[in-house]
Amino acid sequence: MKQKNNEVLDYEMKNRRKVRRSIFQLAILLIVVFLVFQTFVEMNRYDATDSKEWKNKKGFIALSYPGVSRDGSDSLFAKKQLQQQLQALTDQGFVTISQQDVLDFYKKKKPLPEKALFLAFEDGRTDTSVFVNPLLKKYNYKATLLSFANKLNEKDKRFLQPSHLKQMQKSGFWELGSNGNRLTYINIFNKAGTFLNIRNDEEVLSKDEIDSYNHFSMDFIRDQYLIPSENRVEMERRITKDYEEMRQTYQKQLGSTPGVYMIMHANGLYNTANNLVTEVNDKEIRKTFDMHFNQEGDAYNTKDNELYNLTRVQPVPSWSTNHLLMKIQKDTNQKVEFVKGNEKQAKQWKEIEGAAEFNENTITLTSKARKQGKLILTESNDKDIQFTGKVGGDVEGQQSIFLRRSDNGDGYVKIAFENDQIIIEEKVEGHLNELLDTQSIEIINHAQATDSDESTSRNENEVQQEKLPNEKYIEMKLQDNKLSIWINDKKVINKLAINPDIQAGKLALGSTWITGDFNDPIHDAHFSDITITSLANKDVAQTTLFTNEIQKPQQVMYTFVGSIKSAMNWVVDNF
């Protein structure tokens, strides 16, 4: 009888768990339905600013974001990240302008807001509208949503369909634009050197596998020797037909062709593209659209720009908010106010150059354009010191840690990381010496690490949380004029001798842009879950000078929030 009762209780317990799980999933579904309703069934309208107060006759900035999702990816912005950037732009005083405002600025010489922003989102993705729409309402921003014409015929749920676009347009928050008729690649070579000819976007799973390519309307179709396989007449007929199909599709599906064009491949026309290809594109673009953002890389359009050769910046998901602001400052030559984040943490540091944001467990240090950023821990003035934490950054730059830095910068020990390389230098009375030739870092994961002598071993959960670009877990210890370094729990430097003339000094962090074949002149260096400790000696006890490492109660909360996000993403993907 007791066993039977246990079975009954166990059955009832399972039922209760099922009910709780069903309620949780229903709640998530209702939230998603509400977001979609907010997106496609507008309950409020855009409130245009009074243009009578506008006096700016100099120019405007243009930003075109890629797709937006809840949590982001290498190619998509996270909603939270986009909100932080739009909030920063709002705090700077930027006001969005419409397509008509741009036309009036160039054709009728009408002024713009003092800080004018033309905002766009490319590729016409459904998730972009779901996550961006509430932000446009929050900041009363107007944006242009760009689409590919052929996606309007395919009923692909990843892309917005005509009924959705029309409804969004009615709200006033959205205008429509185009990235072209199709996302089709030509003249493709993969990393192995294999020629792939013509591929649609669904057939190119990852651009990381591609070495070179062009877009459908941006070149002659060529063979594996890059010799044109079509003559001029055939090329012109192909490209003209593509524009005709685009106009017909937009007319049929939307009732008119969008006013703005942002061509794929930016910076090609009037520049590197074949002159004959440029001619036919230029003719069709002027016939089809009111304006064309042909260039990418400079955010600022002056009154002297040509309406069919405008420029914009495409922010990258890896950019911090200060990275975007630094880019705007460079392009406009206007002063901006950088974001600080956690004020309590920020007060412990002094910015020497660049801009630093303190966000939860990460310090992001942004360099100036083609220069560096530097941040000094004000309370540190130690001879023997230890640093532990994660260090990372994109390939365009260098992340560095300075030990025993003198107040005037004439003395220090510098440990720098460039992707998979480590550089160690010392500066004594202004003279720079290289202590270690640039060495490649063997990337060791946690499971492979065997030499943990005197290092702080991490558990698997900590390793799995690593998300910084080119991230490395670093432990370094400078004691008795000997430097030891562990990378991913593997000792790579063992008691390297340091000049004893470099006495006690401060710890500093550095972010430096490096020369190379890079388009981005600004670098973000990330320092996450770091702890800086003054080591004990006969006169002083060991002291923690700074830490932003997540404590266990916070880790539990982050795990819980992560579970909720995963559940919501599951609902979005399956309904």
Q: What does the pLDDT look like over 98-129, one tens digit per residue? A: 999 999 999 999 999 999 999 999 999 999 99
Domain annotation covers residue 458 = yes
Mean per-residue pLDDT of the chain:
87
Domain annotation covers residue 440 = yes
Identify the pLDDT of residue 205: 59
Q: Tokens at residue 84, please?
A: 């932080």
Residues 256 and 367 placed together within one structural domain of the fold: no
Confidence of residue 395 (pLDDT cuts 50, 70, 90): confident
The single residue listed with the structure tokens 């230890």 is: 386
Identify the pLDDT of residue 559: 54
Count of domains observed in the chain:
2
Residues 317 and 363 placed together within one structural domain of the fold: no
Residues 423 and 354 placed together within one structural domain of the fold: yes
Cα(473)–Cα(129) distance, rounded to whole angstroms? 37
Confidence of residue 462 (pLDDT cuts 50, 70, 90): very low
If one counts every other C-beta atom within 10 angstroms of the C-beta of residue 308, the result is 17
Section 49-66 average pLDDT: 95
Give the pTM.
0.86
CATH of the domain at 163: 3.20.20.370
CATH of the domain at 430: 2.60.120.560
Residues 364 and 476 placed together within one structural domain of the fold: yes
If one counts every other C-beta atom within 10 angstroms of the C-beta of residue 166, the result is 13
Identify the pLDDT of residue 149: 95
Identify the pLDDT of residue 450: 44
Residues 299 and 425 placed together within one structural domain of the fold: no
Section 58-72 average pLDDT: 95
Most confident range, picked from 27-41, 89-103, 153-167, 433-447: 89-103
Q: Is the pLDDT of residue 37 over 60?
A: no
Section 348-366 average pLDDT: 96
Cα(312)–Cα(334) distance, rounded to whole angstroms? 17
Residues 485 and 539 placed together within one structural domain of the fold: yes
Residues 368 and 311 placed together within one structural domain of the fold: no
Identify the pLDDT of residue 34: 55
Nearest to 169 by CA among 138, 118, 129: 129
Q: Which 3 state secondary structure label does DSSP give 536?
A: coil
Residues 312 and 407 placed together within one structural domain of the fold: no
Domain annotation covers residue 485 = yes
Q: Is the pLDDT of residue 498 over 50?
A: yes
Domain coverage including residue 524: 340-444+451-549
Dihedral over Cα of 319, 135, 67, 95: its sign: negative
Residues 315 and 398 placed together within one structural domain of the fold: no
How does pLDDT run across 232-291, given as a tens digit for each residue? Answer: 999 999 999 999 999 999 999 999 999 999 998 899 999 999 999 999 999 999 999 999
Section 31-55 average pLDDT: 69
Identify the pLDDT of residue 24: 65
**Distance set, CA 326 to CA 456, 503, 512 (Å):** 36, 35, 14
Q: Which 3 state secondary structure label does DSSP give 155?
A: coil
Amino acid identity for residue 333 in this structure: N
Cα(401)–Cα(387) distance, rounded to whole angstroms? 9
Q: Tokens at residue 272, please?
A: 């590197």
Domain annotation covers residue 575 = no
Q: Tokens at residue 261, please?
A: 């064009």
Residues 426 and 302 placed together within one structural domain of the fold: no
Section 38-44 average pLDDT: 52
Section 470-494 average pLDDT: 95
> Where would I find the H helices in 459-499?
460-464
Identify the pLDDT of residue 463: 42
Residues 380 and 304 placed together within one structural domain of the fold: no
Q: What are phi and psi of 557, to 5 degrees?
A: -65, -45
Domain annotation covers residue 19 = no
For residues 267 and 14, the model is more confident at: 267
Domain annotation covers residue 428 = yes
Section 15-36 average pLDDT: 63
Q: Which of 16-25, 179-188, 367-376, 487-496 has the lowest mean pLDDT?
A: 16-25
Q: Tokens at residue 296, please?
A: 């990418």
Residues 308 and 273 placed together within one structural domain of the fold: yes
**Inter-residue contact 470 to 395 (CB < 8 Å):** yes
Length of the chain measured in residues: 575
Confidence of residue 567 (pLDDT cuts 50, 70, 90): low
Domain annotation covers residue 333 = no
